[in-house]
Amino acid sequence: MDSIKVKINDKEINLPVIKGTENEHGINITQLRKETGFITLDPGYANTGACISNITFIDGEKGILRYRGYPIEQLAGNVSFTETAFLLLNGEFPNINEKEIFSKALRKHANIHEDMKRFFDGFPLNAHPMATLSSMVTALSAFHPESESEDEDIIDSNIIKILAKVKTIAAYSYRKYNGLPFIYPDQDLNYVENFLHMMFSDSQEEFHADPVLVDALNLLLILHADHEQNCSTSTVRLAGSSKSNVFGAISSGIAALWGPLHGGANQAVIEMLKKIKNDGGNYKKYVEMAKNKKSSFRLMGFGHRVYKNYDPRAKIIKKAADKVLKKLKIDDPLLNLAKELEQIALKDEYFISRGLYPNVDFYSGIIYRAMGIPTNMFTVMFALGRLPGWLAHWKEMLHSPDFKINRPRQIYNGQTKRDLK
């Protein structure tokens, strides 16, 4: 089918049908308003395709997630986060020479300008790390005025810089919050090791990251690296469509991610567990509340808006969570509650029949807590992982033949014309 006929009143028009490589179909309505005067209304954009993209494919009904054609199951545990970032940005994995150049550039640009460190003093000690991260990423543009340029080499250079520096800003946000001195990046460590070094190093002792934790964090970052046209990615594209610089566009994505319905979901899991614990730890009571249609309570970290079956990322990260808990031998009441809830959800017919399985937010929250990462840093960790996806979509948007500033329309339902008396 190349087109469909739409008849509105007495006018009939043909609208082109767009077919994707995975047999997805969409109706191109770009001429609809011009030809008929009508627009479409789709609150939440659940049925609206805002772009054609080559980056990530999702089939929520079948539980499929692929980056540039590669199934997430094949990427997890077999490649590094930086290799995944290169793949998302460029469409292919780096060869040996490209990998070395990319890794070297990330190490070279890991430091932030010394003057930027003073900015941290302007934030209250209890400032949410996402507020700090968003502000500091925007501020990077002041230290890199060349970011306004449309030169391809400068665009690629700024992508490297933001990838390298965001992990440093994230780590410094954590240390500022905890009253700890900043730790400089170590040129001899890889991306994930360096982040853990800047987070947890004691300035008096040499730091050695536990390989189990390095592998788990590498895995978490890969699993969060992209997820198609979600709220924050769409925000990056929307802001970037005005040709704002990359730092401003990414900062807007960070702000969108901060919301509890998006990146804040893993933090909400831990808050829910705290609530259950403070109420005596009777998790079965809350399971029954979640089943009760009259109750407003719902279990956080179960089910997914996109995946109608099982979140493919959750299958992978569950194994890592089990490995981390076994390695660290942690006796944490909240983590014990989480394991009890997990077992109920995996066996209870109510949850199984509705596809309410533990999702990636559930397991990532468990791992971050076990690693000693505070709850208010969870969304920052999400942002660190999602960064390559945001950058890939921003770059793809700039090179799209259909590039234009995004400007949604509306159906006005307010007062009709009235005169001032």
Break the chain into its structural domains and give their ranges: 3-66, 71-258, 265-371
Q: What is the CA radius of gyration of the chain?
A: 23
pLDDT at 348: 87
* CATH (one of 1.10.580.10, 1.20.1070.10, 3.40.50.10860, 1.20.1740.10) for 71-258: 1.10.580.10
pLDDT at 65: 96
pLDDT at 359: 85
For the question of residue 128 being annotated catalytic, the response is no
Residue of 380, 362, 282, 259 whose CA lies nearest to 320: 362
pLDDT at 321: 85
How far lies 330's CA from each of 210, 323, 367, in Å? 15, 12, 11
Q: Show pLDDT as tens, one digit a residue, over the chain (421 residues).
A: 689 999 998 889 999 999 999 999 999 999 999 999 999 999 999 899 999 999 999 998 898 999 999 999 999 989 999 999 999 999 999 999 999 999 999 999 999 999 999 999 999 988 899 999 999 999 999 999 998 888 999 999 999 999 999 999 999 999 988 889 999 999 999 999 999 999 999 866 777 888 999 999 999 999 999 999 999 999 999 999 999 999 999 999 999 999 888 888 888 888 898 899 998 988 889 888 988 888 888 888 888 878 877 789 988 988 888 888 888 887 788 878 888 888 888 888 888 888 888 888 888 888 898 899 999 999 999 999 999 999 999 999 999 999 999 999 999 999 999 999 9
- Helix%, strand%, coil% for the chain, nearest 5: 55, 5, 40
Neighbours of 400 (CB within 10 A): 14
Neighbours of 150 (CB within 10 A): 8
For the question of residue 304 being annotated catalytic, the response is yes
Residue of 237, 234, 243, 256 whose CA lies nearest to 147: 243
125, amino acid identity: L
Strand ranges of the sheet holding 25-27, from the earlier edge strand across to the other edge: 3-8, 11-19, 25-27
pLDDT at 351: 86
d(CA 417, CA 245): 40
* Topology (CATH level 3) of domain 265-371: Cytochrome p450-Terp; domain 2 (1.10.230)
Using alpha carbons only, give the angle 110, 113, 117 rounded to the nearest 5 degrees.
105
For residue 11, the SS3 value is: strand
**Helix (H), strand (E) at residue 197:** helix 191-200
* Residue 75: Cβ-neighbour burial (10 angstroms; 0-12, 13-18, 19+): buried
Annotated catalytic residue, options 197, 224, 304, 393: 304
pLDDT at 379: 94
* Topology (CATH level 3) of domain 3-66: Rubrerythrin, domain 2 (2.20.28)
Annotated catalytic residue, options 361, 399, 402, 419: 361
